[in-house]
Structure 1
Amino acid sequence: MFLILKSLHLIAMVCWFAGIFYLPRLFVYHAMSDDKLSQQRFVIMERKLYRGIMNPAMMATWLFGLSMVLSNWQIYKSQGWLHAKLTLVVLLTIYHIICGKYRLKLVDNPHLKSDKFWRIFNEVPVFILVAVVFLVVTKPF
């Protein structure tokens, strides 16, 4: 059962990160768009991505991840790398929520931030992904 949970956790995580990487990229294009039709198209794309893919993938990632941890709590409770990973996943969840808030603000103000801001903003989850993968694979502490 553990390997099934782990597989489902990884699948959900990959889907979540796909959305986490793509939504801010849509924000870049949204900020660069000048015509109303393009801006409306980006609003629809961003909403469908956030609500239809990212939210369910985030919830599934948390569900399957916590299921694995709770099923082996006696082993995991003293694993420092897991505590660090969970802290990073909480930060990623906060980033996800911030993306949702920005998505709503872009509906009324497509030029809320510059495309350069969104390009930099888009890099934040890369650092989290790299750190999480190294923690899970190497279990340094």
Structure 2
Amino acid sequence: MTLLWIKALHVFFMVAWMSGLFYLPRLMVYHAQSDIQAVKDQFKIMEKRLWYFVTPFAVLTLVFGVWLISLYGKDWFVAAKWLHIKLTLVTALYAYHGYLFVLVRKFAKDENAHSSRFYRFLNEAPVLVVFIIIVLAIVKYL
């Protein structure tokens, strides 16, 4: 029963984290399009608050994920090749999360160097990664 609760919490925090990661670059799209300083200042606040709001979800996703792996055991971990691919992709999402923080800081200093088109791509790129992670976790192929 504990395993199912840990898995449920892992999935919940992952969904909450991904919601923020999908929304933050969308804010950046609008921020990059704006020429009005008052609007830009409002986006700065929203971006910073959202990043700090979703970061604990990223940490809790990791905590419950590691806990799950420990519950399943070393032999399972070694044999689960799909999990190694998933963890590589998850590592990329954590790097993406960190990169968003870099961008939030650049926006805060009014040092944005990218177009709204760049942020549109940035907003859509992780969707495929998350799809592959979910397929790997459910189908457990490989």
Aligned to 1:140, the other structure's residue is in SS state coil
Q: How does 1:28-47 map to 2 (within 5 A)?
A: 28-47=29-48
Contact (CA 8 Å) 1:88, 1:128: kept in 2 or not?
yes
Could you tell me how far apart the structure 1 residues matched to 2:11 and 2:102 are? 26
Give 1:66's aligned residue. Answer: 66
Q: Aligned-pair distance for 1:104?
A: 0.3
Could you tell me how far apart the structure 2 residues matched to 1:55 and 1:111 are? 22
TM-score for both structures, normalised by structure 2:
0.95
Structure 1 runs (4+) deviating above 4 angstroms are none
Q: Aligned-pair distance for 1:23?
A: 0.3
Q: Aligned-pair distance for 1:65?
A: 0.5
Could you tell me how far apart the structure 2 residues matched to 1:10 and 1:61 are? 7
Q: Aligned-pair distance for 1:109?
A: 2.3
TM-score for both structures, normalised by structure 1:
0.95
Q: Aligned-pair distance for 1:120?
A: 0.8
Give 2:88's aligned residue. Answer: 87
Could you tell me how far apart the structure 2 residues matched to 1:127 and 1:101 are? 22
CA deviations 1:89-111 (Å, max 9, x no partner) are 00000000000001100112264
Aligned to 2:114, the other structure's residue is in SS state coil
The answer to whether 1:118 aligns with 2:119 is yes
Could you tell me how far apart the structure 2 residues matched to 1:7 and 1:111 are? 38
Aligned to 1:112, the other structure's residue is in SS state coil
Give the aligned CA root-mean-square deviation in angstroms: 1.0
**Sequence identity, in percent?**
36
Structure 2 gap ranges (5+): none
